Structure 1
Amino acid sequence: MAPFLQMLAGSIGLAYFIQRYSPHPIGTILTAVILFVTAFTCYAAWTVVVYPRFFSPLRHLPTPPDNAFFTGQTKRVMQAASGMPMREWTESVENDGLIRYSMMFQERVLVTSPKALGEVLVTKNYDFVKPSHFRHNLGRILGIGILLAEGEEHKLQRKNLMPAFAYRHIKDLYSVFWSKSREMTECVAEASKSTVPPSEMSTSQTEDAEKTAADAPQHAAGSIDVGNFTSRATLDIIGLSGMGQDFGSLQNENNELNKTYRSIINPSRGSIVLQIMGAFISPWILTRLPIKRNNTIEGASSYIKQVCRDLIAKNRVNMAEKEKTGVDIISVALQSGGFTDEELVNQMMTFLVAGHETTATAMIWALYILCKHPEAQKKLRDEIRSKLPSPDEDVTAAEIDSCSYLHAVCTETLRLWSPVSLTLRVADRDTSINGQFIPKGTTIILAPWATNTSKHLWGEDALEFKPERWLDADGKANNKGGADSNFSFLTFLHGPRSCIGQKFALAEFECLLAAWIGRFETSFEEGSPLIDGEPEIKGGITSKPKGGLWVRCREVGGW
């Protein structure tokens, strides 16, 4: 971004100087344009052609085939689902842990081996930070909370928040997870009996809030969009367990908070264009462009921040009045005394999005897989019904933890279809990975969709759904899935920047899936292209099937 602004400023300044002192002036604007085009051409020639081929310290690293001369792999990466090209390159490009590929004006390094991943994520983790435009764009929705904080700021935030994610707190939240899971299945059961085609329902139930009902795909009455229910359930769960507030999204999908998140989480064409432009244009300029997407995000951010401030104020009043403090995340964070109110607002914004959209997406992929594998679905239902009490009763953490096959199905789903398919880092200083010098400013790619399914790490059946890989011979759950290294599984990352809510998310995921599969036999709706085909992927904060996952749910008696 900076070179473009510097060239523009320099061209204008030099044009003014030339116009003032040249004996044959041709006009300030024309002179500035000529200077900028000349500077840009030289910059592009150096950055795109000369430097990466003859001077870059990364030029000897293996690269994917079929590189376009000027644009490298830009077209391939932009057209494919996020993480899919990296999955292909990990298998096809012989490498020793690092693969280099080029995008327009940028070299990128894909990290593939456990040893190299260990350096980026653990031993040298603070050498690598999130790109500034990525941090700025996500920060408008997530706030600058623990997910986007860097360096000492991140260390302090993680230290103050860790007690809220200790198992002794999470086990007390299972009753919240289970009660909302049951409420979700009640809503699903009601919707499955509907005689109104989904196309005639409110547009908030479609994939993109900007679509009209006329543009939406047609679905038969009784078919349901999984993401519509899982997203509302997880929003309510993070409200109760994170902030001590039931948002009531399951009972009213048109409530303001749910509608607000649907408007910003489902990316429109405008948001995708803005994301691409963000790599080249200053965020300060992008966020001030008079376009609809900017107005949507600004309005949503203001509303969400006010919701967070109100909840913090409510919690502070309760603490001042010495009422019993809840076990929700914000109550625990308030007790720590380590955050100002505005810092807590940022943390709450982070947990509201990261804490509900990722698990909702994991549920979509779990039900997609179980529709593909009805035998595994039946086996899971049998275990759930044999080990968990009636759905009208509460469950305990110990009872959920006793369901080894449930744990295996959830973990295998997270391996095959990690909700976040790819993440970026930038070298914050000159450093090295696996003995290879990495200059400051190099973009580093971590791709769970590649690492989690690498045949080099998981064997020839890496792309197959095999929950049994997460079970020992005696049927007990294990945590390696047969892989030699923990770094073969990147869904939650590792080290100081690993997902702080990993145990929370997995417990929530297991409760939601247990309640759903325990009650319903789920299958793709009639005529679904997913019955025999593969899903087209839609990107965004998470990666999920484009158009949603539409299924039929048949209640199974006897539980």
Structure 2
Amino acid sequence: MANFLYLTAFSIAAAYIAARSAFPYAALIGFLIPFSYAIFLVFVYPFYFSPFRHLPEPKGAKFPWAHASEILENRNGPAYRKWMTTVPNGGMMRLRVLFNQERLLLTSPEAMKEVLVQKTYEFHKPSQPTFLFRQLLGNGILVAEGAEHKEQRKALLPAFSFRHIKELYPLFWNKARESTEEIAKASKSSSESGPEPQKAYEWASRTTLDIIGQSGLGYDFNATSNPDGKIVQNYRLIFDNEPPNFRWTFVGIWAPLELMWYLRLPPLSYGKTIADSIRSFLTKRVQEKRGLLEKDAASQIDIMSIAMKSGQFSDAEVVDQMMTFLAAGHETTASALTWAIYQLCNFPKIQDRLREELRSSLPSIKDHNSTITAQQIESLPYLNAVCNEILRFIPSVPTTVRDALVDTTIQGQFIPKGTRIFLSPWAMNTSPTLWGPDAQEFNPDRWMADGTANSGGSKNNFAFLTFLHGPRSCIGKDFAKAEFLCLLAAWIARFRVRWPEGERLDMDLHGWVTVRPGHKLPVLFEEV
């Protein structure tokens, strides 16, 4: 990317000099110099001078999009999964995107370990997505870098401790129970001729928004029962109209994003309005929370309260953190729950086996007074196996990106400053080298054998990359898994989910940061 920026600057300078010169061929020279440099960067440097020219790469790349064509066609994940198994490599491969810009795809645990653990702060998130996230969400833990990230993570860790999450299981169960009531009502009233399909993703998104509202802010959005609430509508607009810069990052398009943002140009203009609306709500909530903490700090156990009690954040900084947790904290789990329903529709025998375990071990989901504990949920082996396999097989965030902040190395390979690195959970999580010959099959039993409940049988921690690893791993990992377990348990205990007759759907991948079905997964919820 830096080379293309240099080319632009050089071209402008050459044109200016040519225009000011009295030399008769100055205009021609002013054109030929940047044109020749462009030819060098696009057609010569990648193949004859690049430090990555000897690395393996997938076949079939055609100019100008090269490998970006397949990334665009299949969304951000399936292509990397295919290349992982079809391109022999020693831990990394080269990809080329628009005009032969180079990217590296890491494919080995050793390479992942260097980037995510050993040299975490030598690699940072790309500037354009980070800029937009910062404008929309503020300077929260998602975009903070270096020492600032370390300080924020340390201050927020108590909110995600195992002890604190255990206290939230009854809240998760109560919201899950409430969502089953609303789904049952909607299914019964949708048609006189029988239940009509319900969009699983929409129900999942509204339920997880309610959960992060209560556990994060101590506030109930009532999104499950009211799909037309302002907050619900705001997040629906954000996720249904994902800005294109995330896609640009992967396929090699550079755009003056900062200028576009400040000029409020489409398609970014709606994002500012929505973000301001959510931020205004959270600012008022922080002010209310200050008063509650002064009266009874001990009873306030939500994430916002813990952040405020740490003394590490100003009120504005607390708002930034909550903007981050509200957006990321509900969308990723909603996607996981949706993909779980998708797979259980595909594998009804797995669904029946799971339901049998749930109904024999948990209280009735129809009992309004029922509750559960962390121990009850975590002691269900098949529930945990199904959830772990979903998180392995269809991770909500398919690929993440890092840029080299300095000249460095990965597995002895020189990595110039500015090199863009792809790390793909979609690929690593289904690598036959790490998971065996059935790696690309959905099989919860891999988590059921002796000694495999926490590993799925893989011998390497970096085989499961859903939550990343190291200092920048997902701080909400245990929170998300606990929430996911409770929601899936409630839904499957009460409903048999299945495809409408003759309407089995494909995945219809949508989104670049998180992936979810574009059709939002319309399925039948039948009470059992």
In the superposition, the TM-score normalised over structure 2's length comes to 0.93
Matched to 2:434, the amino acid is: L
Does residue 162 in structure 1 map to residue 169 in structure 2?
no
Q: 1:300 aligns with which of 274, 284, 288?
A: 274
Structure 2 partner of 1:411: 388
Alignment of 1:442-461 (within 5 A): 442-461=419-438
Q: 1:352 aligns with which of 309, 319, 326?
A: 326
Does residue 397 in structure 1 map to residue 374 in structure 2?
yes
Does residue 130 in structure 1 map to residue 125 in structure 2?
yes
Question: Do 2:98 and 2:252's aligned partners in 1 also have CA atoms closer than 8 Å?
Answer: no
For 1:284 and 1:277, the matched residues in 2 are separated by: 19
Question: Do 1:101 and 1:107's aligned partners in 2 also have CA atoms closer than 8 Å?
Answer: yes
The CA RMSD measured in Å over matched residues stands at: 2.5
For 1:221 and 1:447, the matched residues in 2 are separated by: 39
Question: How far 1:389 sits from its partner (Å)?
Answer: 1.6
Question: How far 1:61 sits from its partner (Å)?
Answer: 1.0
For 1:271 and 1:12, the matched residues in 2 are separated by: 25
Q: 2:484 aligns with which of 500, 504, 509?
A: 509
Does residue 58 in structure 1 map to residue 89 in structure 2?
no
Does residue 283 in structure 1 map to residue 257 in structure 2?
yes
Alignment of 1:53-452 (within 5 A): 53-105=47-99, 106-195=101-190, 222-267=196-241, 279-289=253-263, 291-391=265-365, 392=367, 393-452=370-429
**CA separation of 1:21 and 1:462: change in aligned 2, threshold 3 A:** closer
Q: 2:516 aligns with which of 544, 549, 554?
A: 544
**Identity within the alignment, %:** 45
Question: Do 2:293 and 2:300's aligned partners in 1 also have CA atoms closer than 8 Å?
Answer: no
For 1:194 and 1:452, the matched residues in 2 are separated by: 41
Question: How far 1:310 sits from its partner (Å)?
Answer: 1.4
Question: How far 1:140 sits from its partner (Å)?
Answer: 3.4
Question: How far 1:24 sits from its partner (Å)?
Answer: 7.0
Question: Do 2:76 and 2:398's aligned partners in 1 also have CA atoms closer than 8 Å?
Answer: yes
> Any unmatched runs of 5+ in structure 1?
198-218
Question: How far 1:172 sits from its partner (Å)?
Answer: 0.7
For 2:472 and 2:178, the matched residues in 1 are separated by: 34
Deviations 1:400-459 (A, max 9, x none): 111111011000001110001111111111111112111111111111111111111111
For 1:477 and 1:90, the matched residues in 2 are separated by: 24
For 2:65 and 2:204, the matched residues in 1 are separated by: 40
Question: How far 1:478 sits from its partner (Å)?
Answer: 1.5
Deviations 1:124-156 (A, max 9, x none): 111111110121133334433112211111111
Question: How far 1:294 sits from its partner (Å)?
Answer: 1.7
Does residue 553 in structure 1 map to residue 528 in structure 2?
no
Structure 2 partner of 1:213: none
Secondary structure in structure 2 of the residue aligned to 1:315: helix
Deviations 1:378-400 (A, max 9, x none): 11111111111222201111111
> Any unmatched runs of 5+ in structure 2?
none
More displaced stretch, 90-99 vs 70-79: 70-79
Structure 2 partner of 1:202: none
Matched to 2:145, the amino acid is: E
Question: How far 1:14 sits from its partner (Å)?
Answer: 5.5
For 1:92 and 1:8, the matched residues in 2 are separated by: 37
For 1:236 and 1:37, the matched residues in 2 are separated by: 59
**CA separation of 1:521 and 1:55: change in aligned 2, threshold 3 A:** same
Matched to 1:146, the amino acid is: I
For 1:272 and 1:114, the matched residues in 2 are separated by: 26
Question: Do 2:113 and 2:462's aligned partners in 1 also have CA atoms closer than 8 Å?
Answer: yes
Does residue 535 in structure 1 map to residue 507 in structure 2?
yes
**CA separation of 1:43 and 1:148: change in aligned 2, threshold 3 A:** farther
Question: Do 1:325 and 1:331's aligned partners in 2 also have CA atoms closer than 8 Å?
Answer: no
Question: How far 1:36 sits from its partner (Å)?
Answer: 8.0
Question: Do 2:404 and 2:416's aligned partners in 1 also have CA atoms closer than 8 Å?
Answer: yes
Structure 2 partner of 1:465: 442
Deviations 1:177-221 (A, max 9, x none): 011101110111011112359xxxxxxxxxxxxxxxxxxxxx996
Question: How far 1:279 sits from its partner (Å)?
Answer: 3.9
For 1:418 and 1:107, the matched residues in 2 are separated by: 25
Question: How far 1:7 sits from its partner (Å)?
Answer: 5.3
Question: Do 1:265 and 1:540's aligned partners in 2 also have CA atoms closer than 8 Å?
Answer: no
For 1:191 and 1:49, the matched residues in 2 are separated by: 58
More displaced stretch, 119-128 vs 321-330: 321-330
More displaced stretch, 234-243 vs 131-140: 131-140
Does residue 495 in structure 1 map to residue 470 in structure 2?
yes
Secondary structure in structure 1 of the residue aligned to 2:267: helix
Matched to 2:522, the amino acid is: W
**CA separation of 1:42 and 1:345: change in aligned 2, threshold 3 A:** farther
**CA separation of 1:414 and 1:135: change in aligned 2, threshold 3 A:** same
Structure 2 partner of 1:210: none
Deviations 1:153-175 (A, max 9, x none): 11111111111100111111111
Question: How far 1:273 sits from its partner (Å)?
Answer: 7.3
Matched to 1:307, the amino acid is: F
Question: How far 1:55 sits from its partner (Å)?
Answer: 1.1
Question: Do 1:448 and 1:490's aligned partners in 2 also have CA atoms closer than 8 Å?
Answer: yes
